[in-house]
Amino acid sequence: MTDLNVGLVGYGYVGKTFHAPLISATPGLRLAGVVSSRPDDVAAAWPDAVVHPRLEALLASKPDLVVIATPNDLHEPQARAALRAGCAVVVDKPFTLTVAEAEGLERLADETGRLLSVFHNRRWDGEFLTLKGLIADGSLGTIRRFESHIDRFRPQVRDRWRENAGPGAGLWFDLGPHLVDQALQLFGWPEAITADLATLRPGGQSTDYVHVVLRYPAMRAILHADVTSPAPELRMAVQGDRGGWIKTGMDVQEVQLKAGMTPGATGWGVDPRPGVLTDGATGRRRETPGQAGGQQAYYAAVAAALRGEGPNPVTAAEAIQVMRVIEAGERSARERRDVAL
């Protein structure tokens, strides 16, 4: 079987830390080219990949798959160019800046007959997989409250596009898509959203505090992210009518990737901090052995889909639903009110 050639657009934090190693660890995919303004960095890590100065040069090499890992405001125009060039496309989250942009890309993918997928990689985090199992086996019963945190401590404002003022900057566009996508995967479409999006750090130029409540008929999903928490321990707190589950600590895969671990190696995705399940009837507590995370499964599924051997792991339609919630959250915060979904 001939490997599919992949072109990576962008070699910043996300492209370098996540996409390049996950692509390279996937059987059937070959990291053939990278668009970057830092050719020496790319060559040092991936000497077999051709470094291109611009997207147009990469597209001229006719890769099978183009992965967009650039700043958020470039996602739509670069994905559009790649689809028009006849390439399959993976776009890092957030899909686009607006629902209208996302819907336009979906239509173009349909017209060109090319795969369009969005990198919602935290569907393959260990704690998320573990929670899905606990819900499926009935350990928690009917969920009444779901609380999901991605909290960090970064008290100093840095000069980088994610923290500068501008379209697509700030935590709601950075971490919000992860939190929203996981909630939608677990519980489906909510009735309404209430969002508090704020800038708390002195000198901050974009959102650094996110507190969102998704309203369901008999359940609430609380999504929280900030960079002002010196004790960012809580990851998930899930309360049902049979039991509750508390998970501290983030999934380990990002740390492992930064340390240079090969995805799928021994110990990959293994969480050293299991969650704690409390039985509602007896009050008895027990640790829950967590499932290992496996974000490489995303690219394995993309490769299978391109060969006609499986479905798109994250469809444009699913990512558009995330963008609908992101837009509604912006409106809720701006107007300081509940927004129906």
Distances (CA, A) of 142 to 134, 217, 219, 241, 278: 11, 12, 9, 6, 14
Domains in the chain, number: 2
Stated pTM of the model: 0.96
Give the containing element (helix H, strand E) for 321. helix 316-335
77 Cβ contact partners less than 8 Å away, ≥ 6 residues apart? none
Q: How many CB atoms lie within 10 A of CB 279?
A: 13
Q: Read off the CATH number of the domain in which 88 is found.
A: 3.40.50.720
| pLDDT number for residue 161 | 87
| pLDDT number for residue 1 | 74
Domain assignment of residue 214, given as a range: 124-293+325-340
309 belongs to a structural domain: no
Q: Read off the CATH number of the domain in which 132 is found.
A: 3.30.360.10
Whether residues 180 and 162 fall in one domain: yes
- Per-residue pLDDT of the chain (341 residues), as tens digits, is 799 999 999 999 999 999 999 999 999 999 999 999 999 999 999 999 999 999 999 999 999 999 999 999 999 999 999 999 999 999 999 999 999 999 999 999 999 999 999 999 999 999 999 999 999 999 999 999 999 999 999 999 999 989 899 999 999 999 999 999 999 999 999 999 999 999 999 999 999 999 999 999 999 999 999 999 999 999 999 999 999 999 999 999 999 999 999 999 999 999 999 999 999 999 999 999 889 999 999 999 999 999 999 999 999 999 999 999 999 999 999 999 999 99
Whether residues 114 and 196 fall in one domain: no
Backbone dihedral angles phi then psi of residue 203, each to the nearest 5 degrees: 85, 0
Whether residues 143 and 272 fall in one domain: yes
Name the pairing type of β-strands 4-9 and 29-35: parallel
172 belongs to a structural domain: yes
| pLDDT number for residue 22 | 98
301 belongs to a structural domain: no
Check if the beta carbon of residue 59 is closer than 8 Å to that of residue 87: yes
Question: From CA 31, how far away is CA 21, in angstroms rounded?
Answer: 9
Question: From CA 164, how far away is CA 110, in angstroms rounded?
Answer: 35
Whether residues 113 and 130 fall in one domain: no
Whether residues 226 and 267 fall in one domain: yes
Backbone dihedral angles phi then psi of residue 180, each to the nearest 5 degrees: -65, -45
**Peptide bond between residue 94 and the one before it cis (omega within 30 degrees of 0):** yes
